[in-house]
Amino acid sequence: MAEVIFFIAAIGAVAGAVGTVALRNPFYSVLALVCHLLALAALFLLLRAEFVAAAQVVVYAGAVMVLYVFVVAYVGGSGEPMGISSGATLRFASLVFALVAIAIVLLAWRRRPYELFVLLFGTGIVYAGVHITKEAVDRPRPAGSLVETMGSSLPSGHAAYATIYVVLGIIAARILSGIVSQAALVIGTVVVAAIIGGTRVYLGAHYYSDVVAGWALGACVFGACGIVALVVSYLRQNGRESRPAGRPEPAADHG
């Protein structure tokens, strides 16, 4: 299984590097570079270098790439702004990604590679999926919004990024002990995600279907990453249990 993950990560790294150079749209080029960096982090995880993988994500994909994305979002290309996200969306995404970066460092320190994989790749795919879908669908915003809005309406970036709160709550519940604390964390984060999505509809920034699409995008991505992590964990655990135990050495004959 490790060989399969290696080839997938290697292909992703090469494809991301090629896409960074070949794509003409500057925003897609930045996303390709993010995918390249995430694939490199996966290769570091295969080498059991969790801290290096976390540093790769936090320093490059987290800090440097966020600056690149912000510059592309505000400056754009071809002489006109791209208008990808409003300032409120960028501030909200910055807060979420800061929490993700802290969680990645803590998971690497506690050596929780499966939770780190789900959080790392799920967040990257959700972020890329939101912007790619917005560019592809290009749905107009509702009229009479109470807040500043830019870009297309579907899916809601706030709703999609809010699912990361739920994932952080589930990961914390897996680490902490006590059924009451675990249930409170999961239920609390689900309520927070629901409130965030509801406020976007209340403020007129999105249609209800935009919010549902954002929730669905985040749930599908993190669900798929979670399934992959569970399968890999199950296969590795069964592989250890199926190894034949070493035969004890015969006792020396002192007679």
Tokens matching residue 39: 């694939």
pTM over 0.75: no
- The 10 Å CB-count burial string (b at 16+, else e) for 133-171 is bbeeeebebeeeeeeebbbbbbbbbbbbbbbbbbbbbbb
Q: pLDDT digits over 143-166, tens only?
A: 887 777 777 788 888 889 999 999
Q: pLDDT digits over 215-242, tens only?
A: 999 999 899 888 888 887 777 777 666 6
Cα Rg of the chain, angstroms: 21
Q: How far apart are CA 143 and CA 141, in angstroms?
A: 6
- Averaged pLDDT, groups of 10, the chain, 255 residues long: 72 81 74 79 80 73 63 54 52 75 81 83 83 82 78 84 90 82 87 90 87 91 86 74 54 50
